[in-house]
Amino acid sequence: PLVITFVVGVVMALEFFVPHYRFKWLTDELTEWGLILAAAAYVLGILNLLQVNVPKIVRRERDWPYKLLMVVAMVVTLGAGLGQGKDGPVYEWVYKYIFEPLSATMFSLLAFFIASAAFRAFRARNLDAAVLLSAAVLVMLASVPIGEGIPVIGEYLPGIRNWIMDVPNTAARRAIFIGAALGAVATGLRVILGIERSHLGGDA
């Protein structure tokens, strides 16, 4: 596995520097293999889900009814999709009347919890917190039309928001991106060279 990691990693990194068409054919093939493996990962995920949850259901561990419901939902949806196809009536019903409303509901709850959390936690306890709070309030006000309707300051709010986004936010984000990219390069090198072996699992 370490040799495979090294060879594939070096080949894919060299893709940016070797313009020869045969090398491009090789990297295209490796990319396609990767796509196939990514699809196969879904099968592994399903097996893992069953492997983790079925024993807990059998042993009646804590929250086992919810785990049973999850496994049943997975089996029904998978069976409907495989049996009738993605346009089948059962699969469509499950997506339209269970998945869509539940998914939307979970996100809708955020509005209420954010309101409660903001009321409790946003306190200007020191200068840093006061600056953060002020920026947040200004950006929130400027993001909706009602902010622009506020007398005196309303017309300046979009400009203030854009300055916050364009200057301090962009500077901070770029610093984070560059740091993350350097970290990714370092981690990638460690994986390619076999120094980092956590991706192999077990006692590797």
Residues that bind other proteins (CB under 8 A): 16, 24, 27-28, 31-32, 34-35, 38-39, 41-42, 86, 92, 95-96, 99-101, 103-104, 106-107, 111-112, 114-116, 118-126, 133, 137, 140-141, 143-149, 158, 162, 165-166, 169-170, 173-174, 177
| Residue 1 Cβ vs other proteins, minimum distance, rounded to whole Å | 19
Between 106 and 152, name the residue whose CB sits nearer to other proteins.
106
Q: For residue 71, give the nearest of 95, 54, 96 by alpha carbon.
A: 54
Between 66 and 122, name the residue whose CB sits nearer to other proteins.
122
| Residue 2 Cβ vs other proteins, minimum distance, rounded to whole Å | 21
Between 63 and 166, name the residue whose CB sits nearer to other proteins.
166
Question: How many whole angstroms separate alpha carbon 60 and alpha carbon 65?
Answer: 8
Between 66 and 177, name the residue whose CB sits nearer to other proteins.
177
